Amino acid sequence: MMRSLILLGATGSIGRQVLEILDAHPEAFRVVALTAHEKVDELSLLIDKYRPEFAAIGSEEQAAVLKNRHPEIAVGYGETGLIEAATWRREDRSTLLVNALVGSCGLAPTYHAVDLGRPVALANKETLVIGGDLIMDLARERHVQILPIDSEHSAIWQCLQGNDKAAVRRMIITASGGAFRDKSRDELATVDADQALQHPNWSMGAKITIDSATMMNKGFEVIEAHHLFGIPADKIDTVLHPESYVHSLVEYTDGSILAQISDHDMRLPIAYALFGGSRHPNPTRFLSLESVGKLTFSRLDPDRYPMLGMAYEALNRGGIHPCVLNAANEAAVRLFLRRSIPFLEIENIVRRDLDHAPSCLHPTLDDLLKVDREVQTAVLRQYLK
Ligand code: NAD
Ligand code: MG
């Protein structure tokens, strides 16, 4: 049976690869809503190709352009446009939401889709970093599955299949090391955005590429794993694995370690999530172990990567702290990409904001959105005078 699907962030790195999987399985999914932020022409082409009933874009002016070109569909814009998309045809609970947005704008649409009882294939890791407790509690209440797209969580999910969760001793998340894995702390003082955007192993959106260079991305993945798999922070470890073929591992109490190994290609975890955790052919390249030859693992030095430690700290402190961690980082990365601050200032900003986090033990959606906005605005204001 054909399944209805909503794709948020259709023009991004993940969004485009989601569409490749849909193209490879035209019998499986029907696109009912699509969104993009700025690329109105690209979105327009996607509307011609996939014929959704609804589309949303960043601004009101661009929405007018879209409406003019596509009078046959409904059009929205801005934050409300994302929520309209996520809740499109609200009576149909089986519609799959694929969230490929970047940043905190992904939280509210996920929340509203889960509230309707819809399953969510989640690439937007900021959703669970900011609002993991809120989203997972709601998902349990509504009997909704959150299907991870991030390759590390897909790997863990695959290593858990058919095994007793009570027998898990540890989850081990692998890290490529990002663009600066061979640089010392001293050398990091002078690196710029162009260098940081050169990921050694693959190409992704700008924000996650910077998050990989600071290791914040790995910290986010620890927080995501905690929420997705209900595992305490002290049972989640990270390891440096520069080849990036082992996507993550699960260690069991009998001493077995299960790993998921494949080429670095997001289309594999995307397809696994879209099909609800079952295996289907997809355009991913097959991996030749002989050509890989060697796999290496080493310790991630906490002094070299302080942002990983900040993520554990925010997770352990709980409440509003992970939201503050994310917001400060999001604004700092934006400043770094605009060449307004040096690389190491990203971690200084996050450290400072974590130290001054407001107190809020059980934040609601409104609390999270408010603190996110306040922290981001304050950071941007301080540096963009
Ligand atoms: P990207 O920058 O390539 O794409 C982001 C998409 O979100 C675009 O379609 C853009 O139009 C939209 N968008 C951005 N800001 C928006 C806003 N304010 N309002 C509405 N739409 C907005 O990012 P990406 O690399 O595809 O990453 C998407 C998410 O997936 C991120 O959370 C990232 O951490 C996660 N992720 C990405 C990869 C990867 O390989 N790219 C791997 C794992 C996880
Ligand atoms: Mg990842």
Ligand 1 atom closest to the Cα of residue 39 is: 11
Ligand 1 atom closest to the Cα of residue 82 is: 20
What distance in angstroms lies between residue 132's CA and the mean position of ligand 1's atoms? 18
| Structure token digits, residue 308 | 């990983």
pLDDT of residue 385: 74
Residues in contact with 137: Cβ distance below 8 Å, sequence separation at least 6, in sequence order? none
Residues around ion ligand 2, judged by CB within 5 A, are: 150, 152
Mutate-to-test residue for ligand 1 from 34, 128, 154, 204, highest number of ligand atoms within 8 A of CB? 204
What distance in angstroms lies between residue 247's CA and the mean position of ligand 2's atoms? 8
In contact, 86 and 112? CB cutoff 8 Å: yes
Query: What is the C-alpha separation between 348 and 335, in angstroms, rounded?
Result: 13
Ligand nearest 125 Cα, by number? 1
Which amino acids bring their CB within 6 angstroms of ligand 1?
9-15, 36-37, 58, 82, 100-103, 105, 123-126, 150, 204-205, 208, 266
15: left (phi over 0), alpha (psi -120 to 50) or beta: alpha
Backbone angles phi, psi at 3, to 5 degrees: -105, 140
Residues in contact with 219: Cβ distance below 8 Å, sequence separation at least 6, in sequence order? 307, 308, 309, 310, 311, 312, 325
In contact, 178 and 212? CB cutoff 8 Å: yes
Query: What is the C-alpha separation between 362 and 22, in angstroms, rounded?
Result: 38
DSSP character at residue 283:
S
Q: What is the torsional sign of CA 10, 332, 130, 90?
A: negative
Ligand 1 atom closest to the Cα of residue 16 is: 26
Ligand nearest 153 Cα, by number? 2
Residues in contact with 229: Cβ distance below 8 Å, sequence separation at least 6, in sequence order? 153, 156, 157, 160, 165, 171
The candidate with the shortest Cα–Cα distance to 51, out of 68, 80, 74, is: 74
Q: 3-class DSSP state for residue 4? A: strand
Ligand 1 atom closest to the Cα of residue 9 is: 9
The candidate with the shortest Cα–Cα distance to 106, out of 351, 380, 307, 326, is: 326
Q: What is the DSSP string of 223-253?
A: HHHHHHHT--GGGEEEEE-TT--EEEEEEET
pLDDT of residue 102: 98
What distance in angstroms lies between residue 168's CA and the mean position of ligand 1's atoms? 31
Q: How far is CA 16 from CA 13, 22, 222, 310, in A?
A: 6, 10, 26, 32
Per-residue pLDDT of the chain (385 residues; tens, 9 = 90+): 899 999 999 999 999 999 999 999 999 999 999 999 999 999 999 999 999 999 999 999 999 999 999 999 999 999 999 999 999 999 999 999 999 999 999 999 999 999 999 999 999 999 999 999 999 999 999 999 999 999 999 999 999 999 999 999 999 999 999 889 999 999 999 999 999 998 778 789 999 999 999 999 999 999 999 999 999 999 999 999 999 999 999 999 999 999 999 999 999 999 999 999 999 988 889 999 999 999 999 999 888 999 999 999 999 999 999 999 999 999 999 999 999 999 999 999 999 999 999 999 999 999 999 999 999 999 999 998 7
What distance in angstroms lies between residue 69's CA and the mean position of ligand 2's atoms? 37
pLDDT of residue 137: 98
**Residue appearing with tokens 């709601």:** 138
| Cα dihedral 310→312→318→320 (10° resolution) | 30
Report field, pTM of the whole predicted structure over 0.95: yes
Q: 3-class DSSP state for residue 95? A: coil
- Which pairs with CB-CB distance under 8 Å and at least 24 residues apart come from 60-63? 62/38
Mutate-to-test residue for ligand 1 from 17, 41, 101, highest number of ligand atoms within 8 A of CB? 101
Ligand 1, atom 2: nearest CA belongs to which residue? 205
The length of the chain in residues reads 385
Mutate-to-test residue for ligand 1 from 7, 39, 208, 333, highest number of ligand atoms within 8 A of CB? 208
pLDDT of residue 85: 98
DSSP character at residue 58:
S
Ligand 1 atom closest to the Cα of residue 207 is: 2
pLDDT of residue 35: 98
